[in-house]
Amino acid sequence: MRSTYFGLQDVKAHKVRSRQIAKGYTWNNNTKKHDQVAYMPLTDLSGAAAVISNARDYAKWIQGLLGETNLFSQDVHGDIRKGRMIHFPSASGGFDVSLYSLGWFRRTYNGRVYYWHDGSMIGFKCLVYWFPNDKFGFVIFANGDDAEPSNNNIAWKIIADRFQIPEKDVGVGHWHVTANPPRVRTTEEQRVKDAVNLYYPNRSQDPPDLALDDIVGVYSNKGYGRMRVAAEIKKKSQGPIRTGNLVVERPEMTWHYGLRLKHVFGPNWIACESWIEDLDNPGQFHPAMFIKDARGKASALKIGWWANGAFEGNVTFTKIA
């Protein structure tokens, strides 16, 4: 595995040429173009997520997991493959209950055991499947942030062909992919509207109870760190103008994310989360509220963090500057 490295520092230490490292991209729905993204540092993530490799090298790793090399003893193979917790409790259409083993999802389809896992970094997606009893596996790497539907369709097309399964039985084509998948999306405006209706179904039409100049500044939380809330300014033909929104950019975080805060009513806002390079294409939304002190000035920002439909908790950032 001569093209596999642990994080960007390892790549630099081996003096790998920049043109040999794939560039990652996100889709900009405003310009209708792909934008190149900055590489993530990676090494502050888990071991698997910090790996920089290619499909050929990674396939060798899968060969080891399949037992085609002397990489592990039988006891270790058994330990890796053992299901340790329930991942998805329902069985349907030939698919059994899904379990989680040591770093792998484990499931069966019509009695055939397989392991799989996906991977996601900013601008990159990957997918790995291996069938231990059939000595079969494959790896899919893609350098697009929107590649997940394509990867899933390709994966199950490969599986259907290998085991002579009707494609419709395993969902080939189920994942939404067209000739131009990134272009077939709801707009930012529609997604924001849906999020506002979800989090604030009985909202009023009250105007902001704080002026933007009173809100902007630095907010801090011991667990979540500091973030600077700034007024969003966009360049127009007549010059730079304020949009009425607020923005937060956090390039120092492992996941280089940003928030665009849009006013809803009174002290309530909606925080639209996305990659910094892709602020016009938010994927997560969080209800937010600016809290006033006794003087009527902004003293804190409370955000209700949500991820993939699950509530993670309220976090309050105190204004310190």
HEC-encoded secondary structure of 90-133: CCECCECCEEECCCCEEEEECCEEEEEEEEEECCEEEEEEEEHH
Per-residue confidence (pLDDT) for residue 185, from 0 to 100: 57
Name the strands in the sheet holding 98-100, side by side, starting at the edge strand that comes first in the sequence: 85-88, 98-100, 105-109, 112-121, 124-131, 136-142
Domains annotated for the chain, with CATH where assigned, are 5-183 (3.40.710.10), 188-319 (2.40.128.600)
Instruction: Provide the 10 A C-beta neighbour count for residue 150.
Output: 18
| Dist CA 223 CA 106 (whole Å) | 34
> In the structure, what pLDDT confidence band is assigned to residue 40 with cuts at 50, 70 and 90?
confident
- How far is C-alpha 64 from the chain's CA centre? 28
Q: How far is the C-alpha of 257 from the C-alpha of 251, rounded, in Å?
A: 7
Under DSSP, the state recorded for 253 is S
What confidence tier does 174 reach under pLDDT thresholds 50, 70, 90? low
| Structure confidence at residue 233 (pLDDT) | 93
SS3 content of the chain, % helix, strand, coil (to 5): 25, 40, 35
The answer to whether the pTM exceeds 0.85 is no
pLDDT tier, 171 (very low <50, low <70, confident <90, very high otherwise):
confident
pLDDT in tens, 195-246: 999 999 999 999 999 999 999 999 999 999 999 999 999 888 778 889 999 9
